[in-house]
């Protein structure tokens, strides 16, 4: 083996050098991004605006909402009432209470009247809190709290939050 190295050492060194050059080219030189051309981008300073944006800029303003005719009664939305403190229900925190109020649920008596279809409809809108209505038994809790039966609530669900 020693004789082979002594005889062919110039070829071995040349092969190593060729291998290093090829490796440098494959791993080093090919990763450089080359910028070709000098075209201007619409975001460059002094460039003309893009045509798609120009159409929006030159268009007419958006339509204004229609005003009711004189003498025509208008439907007014009732002012939101404070409602009940929904967080009195165990398992219903401030975030869920805000979500329910956004859906129009503001009183405990509304929750007490939910049936299975209404529970499913509301539950699909609770996001990561899905399943809490049935798991924490909100409807039964709301029935006790809406009629003011705090003793019955405490007996069945424990102390009030």
Q: Where are the alpha helices (DSSP H) in the chain?
A: 2-27, 51-58, 94-102, 108-112, 116-123, 132-135, 138-146, 150-157
pLDDT over threshold 90, residue 63? no
Which of 123, 106, 104, 127 lies closest to 115, judged by CA? 123
pLDDT computed for residue 144 by the predictor: 92
pLDDT computed for residue 35 by the predictor: 65
Q: pLDDT tens digits for 4-54?
A: 878 888 999 999 999 999 988 887 766 666 666 666 665 666 666 556 666
pLDDT computed for residue 89 by the predictor: 92
pLDDT computed for residue 147 by the predictor: 92
Q: pLDDT tens digits for 96-113?
A: 999 999 999 999 999 999
pLDDT computed for residue 24 by the predictor: 84
Measured distance CA(19)–CA(30) in Å, rounded: 16
């Amino acid at each position: 083996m020693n004789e082979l190295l002594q005889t062919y050492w110039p070829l071995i060194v040349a092969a190593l050098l060729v291998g290093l050059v090829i490796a440098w080219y494959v791993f080093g030189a090919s990763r450089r991004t080359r910028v070709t051309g000098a075209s201007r981008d619409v975001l460059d300073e002094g460039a003309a605006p893009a045509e798609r944006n120009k159409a929006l800029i030159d268009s007419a303003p958006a339509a204004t909402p229609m005003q009711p005719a004189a003498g025509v009664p208008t439907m007014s939305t009732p002012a939101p009432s404070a409602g009940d403190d929904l967080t009195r229900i165990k398992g219903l925190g401030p975030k869920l209470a805000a979500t329910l109020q956004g859906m129009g649920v503001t009183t405990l008596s509304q929750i007490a009247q939910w049936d299975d279809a209404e529970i499913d409809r509301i539950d699909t809108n609770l996001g990561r809190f899905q399943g809490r209505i049935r798991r924490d038994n909100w409807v039964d809790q709301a029935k006790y709290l809406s009629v003011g039966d705090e003793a019955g609530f405490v007996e069945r669900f424990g102390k009030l939050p």
